[in-house]
């Protein structure tokens, strides 16, 4: 596949050659810290693209996020996520698929709370790579932090929307290009080359509506934001940036000294909930 030099997501596609926003951004996984990538913003829709084509299987081998554990902070985030889903009618009897589930932690969390029909699929995780993805099978499909990893967001949305039963829900959580600056090259939301396309809010909505779904709700707050000290996205990413910028840090034992000696981090640990960074969105769509 050729490099991504023309946007394929919007009606008035911008080009890398004519964009006003382009940056060379290092990989923020420690193992690949020497690798740099070209990120650019489409002048048409505002989405951000990673130019270089890579062997993603090599990059996902030993991917730090795959080693996540169901720690208390993540349980709080999943509790928030479940409350959000319930607001749109998600119930225990529904058949639910976590598309791009990683190690299946959210599936595990749901099943422990009575959602016995919760399933997971992830092409890069052996346990979940062979789930039967039959059309018109699910009442709810959730997919958090996945579409931006896909080389073809249009095809991704075709696949996920086909899985829904009539009036089924598709819930997409993803970085929001509108709130992501290319000037901050260590912004964890950029995350090349794993993030292939970071969609703007309108680009995502337009692509899903084109699949015949209806927009039912949207929030720009990350599900991990809470009033519990230390458990909010603003603090988490500030802590990662101040500790070296590698995403590995998010799953490593916390460095109390880094927090206790930083007035800024102490502030965000307590007050971060009230200052959401605006670089994330969760959108809810319903199949007509």
Q: Where residue 104 sits, what CATH number does that domain have? A: 3.40.50.150
For the chain, the domain total comes to 2
Question: Rounded distance, CA 204 to CA 47, Å?
Answer: 9
Does residue 48 lie in a domain region? no
Report yes or no on 21 lying in a domain.
no
Q: Is residue 52 part of a domain?
A: no
Q: How many whole angstroms separate alpha carbon 197 and alpha carbon 39?
A: 9
How many other β-carbons are positioned within 10 Å of the β-carbon of residue 62?
10
Does residue 215 sit in the same domain as residue 262?
no
Residue 125 sits in the same domain as residue 248: no
| Phi/psi at 46 (5° precision) | 85, 0
* Residue pLDDT tens, the chain, 288 long: 567 999 999 999 999 999 999 999 999 999 999 999 999 999 999 999 999 999 988 999 889 998 899 999 999 999 999 999 999 999 999 999 999 999 999 999 999 999 999 999 999 889 999 999 999 999 999 999 999 999 999 999 999 999 999 999 999 999 999 999 999 898 889 999 999 999 999 999 999 999 999 999 999 999 999 999 999 999 999 999 889 899 999 889 989 999 999 999 999 999 999 999 999 999 999 998
Residues 109 and 183 in one domain: yes
Question: Is 154 in the same domain as 265?
Answer: no
Could you tell me if residue 12 is inside a domain? no
Provide the domain limits for residue 181.
Answer: 64-225+279-287
- Residue 111 falls inside a structural domain: yes
| β-sheet bridge partners, residue 98 | 120, 142
Pairing mode, strands 164-175 and 138-144: parallel
Residue 118 lies in a domain: yes
125 domain residue, yes or no: yes
> Do 93 and 109 lie in a common domain?
yes
Co-location of 89 and 169 in the same domain: yes
**Same domain, residue pair 221 and 160:** yes
User: Which helix (H) or strand (E) is 168 found in, with range?
Assistant: strand 164-175
* b/e burial code for range 164-181 (CB count within 10 A of at least 16 → b): bbeebbbbbbbbbbbbbe
256 and 161 in a common domain: no
Looking at the domain assignment, is residue 120 inside a domain? yes
pTM of the model: 0.95
- 137 and 256 part of one domain: no
């Amino acid at each position: 596949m050729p490099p991504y030099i023309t946007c394929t997501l919007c009606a008035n596609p911008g080009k890398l050659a004519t964009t006003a926003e382009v940056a060379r951004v290092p990989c923020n996984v420690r193992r690949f810290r020497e690798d740099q990538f070209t990120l650019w913003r489409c002048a048409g829709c505002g989405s951000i693209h990673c130019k270089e084509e890579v062997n993603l299987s090599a990059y996902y081998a030993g991917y730090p996020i795959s080693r996540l554990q169901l720690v208390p902070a993540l349980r709080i985030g999943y509790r928030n996520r479940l409350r959000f889903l319930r607001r749109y009618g998600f119930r225990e009897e529904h058949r639910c698929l976590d598309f791009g589930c990683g190690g299946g932690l959210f599936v595990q969390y749901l099943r422990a709370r009575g959602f016995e029909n919760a399933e997971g699929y992830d092409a890069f995780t052996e346990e979940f790579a062979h789930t039967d993805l039959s059309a018109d099978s699910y009442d709810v499909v959730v997919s958090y932090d996945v579409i931006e990893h896909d080389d073809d967001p249009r095809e991704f949305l075709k696949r996920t929307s086909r899985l829904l039963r009539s009036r089924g829900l598709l819930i997409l959580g993803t970085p929001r290009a509108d709130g992501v600056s290319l000037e901050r090259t260590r912004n964890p939301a950029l995350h090349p080359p794993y993030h292939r396309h970071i969609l703007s809010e309108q680009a995502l909505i337009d692509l899903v509506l084109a699949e015949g779904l209806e927009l039912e709700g949207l929030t720009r707050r990350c599900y991990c934001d809470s009033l519990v000290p230390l458990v909010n996205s603003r603090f988490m990413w500030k802590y990662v940036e101040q500790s070296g910028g590698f995403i590995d840090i998010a799953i490593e034992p916390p460095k109390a000294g880094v927090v206790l000696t930083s007035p800024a981090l102490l502030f965000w640990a307590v007050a971060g909930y009230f200052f959401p960074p605006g670089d994330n969105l969760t959108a809810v769509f319903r199949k007509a």
